């Protein structure tokens, strides 16, 4: 039997008897063992940068559920810290970032971003040593635009938060500044992803959490072009592992993204229709797109949707996943229900 992870086989274009399964945020607050572990860290950033703790958090859902892939426990906002911007998390409020460093200072730090976050690499190495060879290990980073939205407004955007109104306004009003920040993030993120590949990641994922609601011209400028530049730079640095792109909230642009960005897989969000998913699947392997709220509800409705996804996408290369991250109050039994339904348990 091949020890090549099923997720990697799908990203190479294979259609398998059943899709490989993993869930975004599969390590997290819905697991009692995670909550216990998290209570032992002084803060969230310290938790992410503690290789022993982060590796343990990564492995917890693998031991409990036997997913086909593990994703290293980290956060998309580690990159700003590597670029000299203070990052912290307010309880009940989410991330907060300090004053944006000067462009000159951030440029000085780009090439060292991987080394500055070497603890994530150690977490990956620890997990790879424990993980069975037939299970994939995924590294990841936030996409340039998504990370920039936090860096530009400090995480304090309260008006139009879901549309990243402050950062989008900057993109219109101060295009040169925003483009400079994006270019810096492309370079820093490329070095960060290379470090992760060198540490044992079998695949890398680019999380564009705030692609939602962008008009065509901004989608091209803020999402497509930075992704193209990032992937080209990652390849220039010698990285050969497959990449998955996740332009969340942009289902209408998913086929364009699949054609124009040199990823090996496209992750689809909750709003992506079965029909559009089939169209994207003709271009690239796909991942997604079960509604996390439905996973929380469970029951017959969950079974029906799993069956619909299998029927629609199971005859092509597809990775079973959620359309966004697993919610903190999801019952463990509902995760087990999905895995049994898909034939993964």
Question: Binding site membership for substrate: which residues?
Answer: 25-29, 75, 150, 209, 324
Determine whether 150 is an active site residue: yes
Entry field: residues in the chain: 345
Distance CA 314, CA 307 (A): 10
Determine whether 34 is an active site residue: no
Determine whether 29 is an active site residue: yes
> Contact at 8 Å (CB) between 96 and 90?
yes
Distance CA 109, CA 283 (A): 37
**Options 30, 68, 135, 150, the catalytic residue:** 150
Assign 245 to helix, strand or coil. Answer: strand
Assign 210 to helix, strand or coil. Answer: coil
DSSP calls for 7-63:
HHHHHTT---SS--B--TT-SSTTSHHHHHHHTTSSSHHHHHT-HHHHHHHHHHHHH
Determine whether 12 is an active site residue: no
Q: Mark the binding-site residues, compressed into ranges.
A: 25-29, 75, 150, 209, 324
Strands 265-267 and 94-97, bridge-based pairing: unpaired
Assign 284 to helix, strand or coil. Answer: coil
**Options 30, 34, 68, 75, the catalytic residue:** 75
Q: How many helices (H) and strands (E) in the chain?
A: 18, 9
**Options 9, 18, 38, 96, the catalytic residue:** 38
DSSP H or E run through 323: none
Assign 171 to helix, strand or coil. Answer: helix
Determine whether 75 is an active site residue: yes
DSSP class of residue 234? H
Largest CA distance in the chain: 57
Residues forming the active site: 25, 29, 38, 75, 150
């Amino acid at each position: 039997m091949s020890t090549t992870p099923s997720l990697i086989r799908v990203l190479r274009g294979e259609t398998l008897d059943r899709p490989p399964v993993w869930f975004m945020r599969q390590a997290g607050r819905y697991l009692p063992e995670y909550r216990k572990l998290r209570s032992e860290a002084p803060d969230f950033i310290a938790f992410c940068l503690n290789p022993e703790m982060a590796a343990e958090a990564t492995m917890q859902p693998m031991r409990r559920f036997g997913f086909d892939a593990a994703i290293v426990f980290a956060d998309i906002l580690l990159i700003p810290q590597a670029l000299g911007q203070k990052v912290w998390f307010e309880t009940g409020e989410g991330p907060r970032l300090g004053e944006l460093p000067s462009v000159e200072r951030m440029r000085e730090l780009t090439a060292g971003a991987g080394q500055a976050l070497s603890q994530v690499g150690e977490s990956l190495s620890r997990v790879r040593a424990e993980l069975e060879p037939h299970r994939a290990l995924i590294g990841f980073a936030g996409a340039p635009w998504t990370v920039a939205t936090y860096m530009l407004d400090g995480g304090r955007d309260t008006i139009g938060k879901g549309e990243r109104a402050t950062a989008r306004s900057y993109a219109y009003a101060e295009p040169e500044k925003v483009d400079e920040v994006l270019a810096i993030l492309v370079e820093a993120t490329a070095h960060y992803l290379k470090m992760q590949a060198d540490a044992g990641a079998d695949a890398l994922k680019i999380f564009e959490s705030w692609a939602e609601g962008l008009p065509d011209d901004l989608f091209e400028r803020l999402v497509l072009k930075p992704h193209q530049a990032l992937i080209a730079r990652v390849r220039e640095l010698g990285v050969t592992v497959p990449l998955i792109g996740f332009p969340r909230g942009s289902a209408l642009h998913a086929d364009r993204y699949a054609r124009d960005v040199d990823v090996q897989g496209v992750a689809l969000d909750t709003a992506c229709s079965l029909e559009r998913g089939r169209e994207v699947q003709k271009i690239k392997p796909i991942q997604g797109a079960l509604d996390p709220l439905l996973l929380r509800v469970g029951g017959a409705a969950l079974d029906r949707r799993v069956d619909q996804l299998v029927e629609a996408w199971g005859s092509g290369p597809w990775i079973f996943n959620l359309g966004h991250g697993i919610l903190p109050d999801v019952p463990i039994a509902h995760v087990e229900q999905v895995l049994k339904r898909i034939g993964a348990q």
